[in-house]
Amino acid sequence: MGVSHSFCQSKFNPSKRVFLSNNNTHGKEELGKAIESLKNIINDMNEFVAFLKNYSPLYHKCMFGRQREMDRVMRFLVETNSFAQSVGVLPIFGPPASGKSTLVSHVCSNERVRDLFSQIILITEADLKEQVLHNTKDTYAVIKYQGGASEGNKALLLIIELPKDINDDSWKNIYSIYVGRIASGSKVIITSRSRKIIHFGTTQALELNYLTKEEFWYFFKVLTFGSTDPEEQPKLASMAMEIGMVINGSFIGANLIGGVLRSNLNARFWSRALKYTRLNVQKNTSMFGEHPGALLQKNKPTFFGRMASADFCLLHSQYQTNSGHEEIPNITFEDILFGTVECRGRIEVLAWRSQIPPYKNYIFSCEIRKPCRATIKSSRKKKT
């Protein structure tokens, strides 16, 4: 069997002799140019890498409308505590349902953050109440993540959800029980609806507000149309914008009605939904003096009509549960408002299940009532 000599120097193929001949000046020049070009590429890449280090990384799963706030929390967690402060405390405050817990959960799910701490621990309002109820110095908390910090690093990240009525004495007690025991280099994030927590921090507090009208409209448009282009259905897009304005920036309202509209891209149905939403706002304003979204935020009684019947729903209170830890109602609030499910009296319903961290379930305690017949009886008396 013959041996191939395809890589041997050949008199008949000059291309094979370009880099093998020491006397080939042209080959040396080409080789020199190639090496110089590679050097320039490497230098350019070094400058590019140095340039990127001055900017925050893009996250795999961004939180809509909160990138600046995400960066701020990340900087707090990454920076080293000063000598005077062995533990850093960042207060985050804002109105109900503005995204405080969601923001913190997004930060905690970041691998870069997990690698900084040995554990990430959540202390909820319920945990604090339990501790006060039992009048004990024992701590009540849930380990959210087992961190990936190097061996010997005992630093913790504590997330403490403070009540709205927090005061200085309560904070000092909480600090001594939970924060006073943790290792130097640990970090604490405290969240609350109250501005009072500004004074509890070791760094400038972060305030969360609701999305702007433009941001909320984009958010609602994505919920409502999904992958469908709104420009292809201008009539529906116009009604969606009106509904978005009527619900007035309510996240829960957007998720409730957005899903219903998305499942039925019909102009007649959307027109009924718009009329229904307006009537609910008018009814709550006349009965309670406030927009239903504002009443929900304050956990006050709220009126909701039923689209498929003359019955109405009076929402008495609401609370949240963590997904997977507790049983949730089989009936949804969507079934009550837009469905034909038969029920009367007090009932608990699943209003909304968050699809992003911390994956909370929003439960409504409400009462289904029949409409008042007073107006019907009075009209009959007039006829007789």
Could you tell me the CATH number of the domain that includes residue 193? 3.40.50
Strand arrangement of the beta sheet that strand 119-123 belongs to: 142-146, 119-123, 156-161, 187-192, 88-93, 206-207
- Tokens 């191939």, residue located: 4
Three-class secondary structure of residue 363 per DSSP: strand
**Predicted pLDDT at 297:** 83
Strands 302-305 and 119-123: unpaired
Are both 198 and 247 inside the same structural domain?
A: no
Instruction: Quote helix, strand, coil % in the chain, to nearest 5.
Output: 45, 15, 40
Are both 307 and 192 inside the same structural domain?
A: no
Are both 273 and 228 inside the same structural domain?
A: yes
Residue 61 lies in a domain: no
**Predicted pLDDT at 1:** 46
Paired strand residues for 348:
365
Number of folded domains that form the chain? 3
Are both 353 and 219 inside the same structural domain?
A: yes
- Tokens 């929402």, residue located: 315
Residue 250 CA to residue 219 CA, distance in Å, equals 11
Give the CA distances from residue 377 to residues 105, 161, 162, 312, 371, in Å, rounded to whole numbers and listed in that order: 55, 52, 51, 19, 13
Are both 238 and 252 inside the same structural domain?
A: yes
**Predicted pLDDT at 9:** 47
**Predicted pLDDT at 15:** 46
Residue 106 lies in a domain: yes
Residue 312 lies in a domain: yes
**How distant is the alpha carbon of residue 267 from its chain centre?**
31
**Predicted pLDDT at 31:** 83
- Each of the 384 residues of the chain gets a pLDDT tens digit; together they read 444 444 444 444 444 444 445 556 767 788 888 888 888 888 878 777 776 666 555 555 556 668 889 999 999 998 887 655 689 999 999 988 888 988 998 888 888 888 889 889 999 888 888 766 655 555 555 666 566 555 666 889 999 999 988 999 999 999 988 888 888 889 999 999 999 999 999 999 999 998 888 889 988 998 999 888 888 999 999 999 999 999 988 888 888 899 899 989 999 999 999 999 999 999 999 999 999 988 988 889 999 999 988 899 999 998 888 776 668 899 999 999 988 888 889 999 999 888 777 788 889 999 999 887 644 344 444 444
Residue 8 lies in a domain: no
Residue 242 lies in a domain: yes
Entry pTM:
0.69
Q: 284 is in which domain, residue-wise?
A: 213-374
Are both 243 and 291 inside the same structural domain?
A: yes
Residue 3 lies in a domain: no
Are both 272 and 350 inside the same structural domain?
A: yes
CB 192 within 8 A of CB 93: yes
Are both 306 and 362 inside the same structural domain?
A: yes
Are both 189 and 231 inside the same structural domain?
A: no
Residue 347 lies in a domain: yes
**Predicted pLDDT at 361:** 87
Are both 82 and 154 inside the same structural domain?
A: yes
Q: Which of 207, 239, 259 is the last residue of a domain?
A: 207
